[in-house]
Amino acid sequence: MLKKEKMAGAAFAAALACAGTPAIAAVEWTGVNLAGAEFDSGTFWPNAAEMNYFRAAGMNIVRVPFRWERLQPALNAPLDATQLSALRTVVAAARTAGLSVILDPHNYARYNGNVIGSGAVPRAAFTDFWNRLATAFRDEPHVIFGLMNEPNSMPTEDWLLAANAGIAGIRNAGAQQWILVPGNAWTGAHSWLQNWYGTPNGSVMGGIVDPQNHYAYELHQYFDGDFSGQSSWCNASNGAAQLAAVTQWLRERGKRGFLGEFAGGNNTDCRTAVTNALGYIENNGDVWLGWSWWAAGPQWGDYIFTLEPTNNYTVDRPQMYWLRPYFADDRLFASGFE
């Protein structure tokens, strides 16, 4: 019998093979968005207590949204020392807890409301921002650079140019970590090959240029009627159906994907859709690196999707019970190994 220890990635696949079970690629990262620093007012950076809670629960990654303007109050200027220090504290807390952390400028491809690539926000400013931020964290191997949250309402071709400008800033800083690259149209998995927003992501985003070739595509997917994530209701038939086309697109190109946002309200239909999607991701671990639920954070109160525990981190939210069987670090135990 195998010892009951945390195993992931290649170790997990090897364990299955030794047990006589066909090996499948294992999902590497499963976790949650710790939201707060992306709000217009206040400074709600994640704290060590909630990181310790999610790590103890079995998660191994957190996505940390923040406003670009908070980190860099003026374009092409140094990063704000106070806010950078706060982010460094978050990254250090994640490292201490044993978590990887995604840095996520949560700006929808905009700065002060102006789209990247406009006269007000040249692509060179996006290069500058990422060069400064990557320089600050290039020696933190547990850090992942989430290029931008949900670009939208712009030509997909323009977003590709902006994305490559940001990647150049990261690599020119000497940083070699993973980069997560979203597409246009809120980077919806279901719409990756659709054209209602212009040229489909599937026709354009293959043009990403990364000298390290160390990037994955970040997708988001909600399961309500319009896939916007604004309702506690889900269509129970949703889930894998919204991920299938982009999974095939990624596999054909030898690329990986990461589901950066998904969620569902506390009801049977949403549980069905969510677990259907997670099961699909697990069964396609050759393509999917992992996922992070939207969201947690102490400021959310009774938000329909919150995973923030109650009673001083002692009481789980209902949706945590849906997710536990799919945590990357605990999947070996769920398979019956002792």
Q: Which domains does the chain have, with CATH numbers?
A: 29-334 (3.20.20.80)
Conformation bin of residue 68: beta by default, left when phi > 0, alpha when psi is -120 to 50: alpha
For residues 216-228, give the mean pLDDT. Answer: 95
Question: Residue 30: which of 337, 330, 284, 234 has the closest Cα?
Answer: 330
Conformation bin of residue 174: beta by default, left when phi > 0, alpha when psi is -120 to 50: left
Please say if the pLDDT value at position 333 is more than 80. Answer: no
Using a pLDDT cut of 70, give the percent of the chain over it: 89
- Matching residue, tokens 């990254």: 91
pLDDT at position 332 is 34
Q: Residue 313 is encoded by which pair of tokens?
A: 């981190």
- Catalytic residue (one of 150, 218, 282, 308): 150
pLDDT at position 267 is 97
For residues 93-104, give the mean pLDDT. Answer: 98
Question: 240, 280 in Cβ contact below 8 A?
Answer: yes
- Catalytic residue (one of 140, 261, 282, 308): 261
Other beta carbons less than 10 A from residue 259's beta carbon: 24
pLDDT at position 299 is 84
Q: Residue 285 is encoded by which pair of tokens?
A: 């671990």
pTM reported for the whole predicted model: 0.91
Question: Residue 100: which of 64, 153, 136 has the closest Cα?
Answer: 64
Other beta carbons less than 10 A from residue 301's beta carbon: 8
d(CA 87, CA 64): 9
Confidence band, pLDDT 50/70/90 cuts, at residue 42: low
Using a pLDDT cut of 90, give the percent of the chain over it: 85
Please say if the pLDDT value at position 159 is more than 90. Answer: yes
118 by DSSP, 3-state: which? coil
52 by DSSP, 3-state: which? helix
3-state secondary structure 190-201: CCCCCCCCCCCH
What are the phi and psi torsion angles at 227 (to 5°)? 60, 25
Indicate if the alpha-carbon torsion angle 121, 123, 126, 127 is positive or negative.
negative
pLDDT digits (tens, 9 = 90+) for 162-213: 999 999 999 999 999 999 999 999 999 999 999 999 999 999 999 999 999 9
40 by DSSP, 3-state: which? coil
140 by DSSP, 3-state: which? coil
**Lowest pLDDT segment from 14-28, 118-132, 308-322:** 14-28
What are the phi and psi torsion angles at 151 (to 5°)? -55, 145
Q: Is 150 a residue of the active site?
A: yes
Please say if the pLDDT value at position 8 is more than 60. Answer: no
* Separation in Å, CA 87 to CA 218, 259, 262, 300: 22, 23, 24, 20
Q: Tell me the pairing of strands 61-66 and 179-182.
A: unpaired
- Matching residue, tokens 């290649």: 10
249 by DSSP, 3-state: which? helix
Report DSSP state, residue 329. Answer: G
179 by DSSP, 3-state: which? strand
Average pLDDT score, the chain: 90
For residues 211-217, give the mean pLDDT. Answer: 98
The residues with which 1 forms a beta bridge, in sequence order, are none
**What one-letter code names the amino acid at 38?**
E
Report DSSP state, residue 80. Answer: P
